[in-house]
Structures are given as C-alpha cells and as structure tokens.
Amino acid sequence: MKFRELFQKVGLTKVKIKLGFSELEWEPKDPDREAAWELYVEMLTRIASQPLAENWGDERVALESIYSLFPTTREILRRKGRNCIEFSKIAVPVLNQVVRPFTAKWHRLSLSGAFGDSDRCMEFRADLTELQTDLRNYTRLLATLAEVEDLTDLEGD
C-alpha cells in the first residue's frame, strides 16, 4: 500500500505530504508496529479520541492532554530511534499539520483568559470536536500500523 492510500483509507485528508513521498510503498517493520502500539494506547485513553460531554471536563485540562501528544510522541521516537521510520513518516506530519494548529491557537487564547469566557469555551469545544475526528482517524491508522484490532469506536458516541 502507498502512503497516499493509507492516509485516504482512514480519512486523514488534512495531512499534506509531498507527491513523491505519497507514492512510496508503506513498509512497516516491528519497531514501527511497537511505536504505533505505544501511541495507539495513549490516543485511546485521552480526550484526543474520547468525547467531552458539554457539562463535563475542563477546557484547560483537555488542551494539556492534546498538547501532551507532542512529548509522548517525541519520547517514543527517541526510544525507538531510526528503526521506526515508517511510524515517523506518519507521526510527524500529524503532529505538525493536525495537532499543532489547534494547540497553537488555544495555548495563546488560554494565556489571555479565554477559558474564563463561556463563549470561548464553547468555541474551544467545537474546535476540539473537529480535531477529535482527525485524531480518531489517526488512532485508526495507528491500529493498522500496530496490526491490532481497532478499538477507536468501541464505546460509541
């Protein structure tokens, strides 16, 4: 399977990759599968893939949870090293193109007191819901890479 086909299969259409790269064959090895499994477990158990009910949770904590995907992914990449290049080719663009725009916007707004304003909180939750769609697709991709059953929708909405 080619990278382009893989991203399309799970609906990660926001991730833009170079045309030549998108035509490369996707050939994961055991370290890629191990790295994907580690991040898959993190994704399944975070607000990244789980709904945040309207009157539950805290926007600041949700933002911190989403942001924590950066150090978590970096740690996995450092530990697994150069042996998980296929995982890297997926994880890095998702962080930079999907997660970073959300965290950059909301980090700045949170510093200026946005979470003290109920309208801004509603806007955050709407943006989070949109991001969660992409991150659930990413979680599905990680399950595929890890070669495990996808439990992303186990609990339903």
- Read off the pLDDT of residues 61-113 as tens digits, 9 standing for 90 and up: 999 999 999 999 999 999 998 889 889 988 998 999 999 999 999 999 999 99
**Domain annotation covers residue 152:** no
pLDDT at 52: 78
Q: Is residue 48 part of a domain?
A: yes
Distance CA 34, CA 152 (A): 18
Q: Does the residue 154 lie in any domain?
A: no
Residue 156 forms part of a structural domain: no
Confidence of residue 23 (pLDDT cuts 50, 70, 90): low
H helical segments located in 45-84: 59-67, 69-80
Judged by DSSP in three states, 56 sits in coil
Six-digit token pair at 6?
A: 């893989």
Q: Which long-range contacts does 27-30 make (Cβ < 8 Å, 24+ apart)? A: 27/86, 28/86, 28/87, 28/145, 29/83, 29/84, 29/86
Identify the domain containing residue 133 by its residue range: 3-146
Task: Please indicate, yes or no, if residue 51 is contained in any of the structural domains.
Answer: yes
Q: Count how many domains the chain has.
A: 1
- The tens digit of pLDDT for each residue in 106-149 reads 999 999 999 999 999 999 999 999 999 999 989 998 998 899 98
Is 7 part of any domain?
A: yes
Give the H/E segment covering residue 133.
helix 118-146
pLDDT tier for residue 3 given thresholds of 50, 70 and 90? low
Residue 106 covered by a domain = yes
Q: Is residue 72 part of a domain?
A: yes
Closest CA to 28 of 90, 91, 75, 84: 84
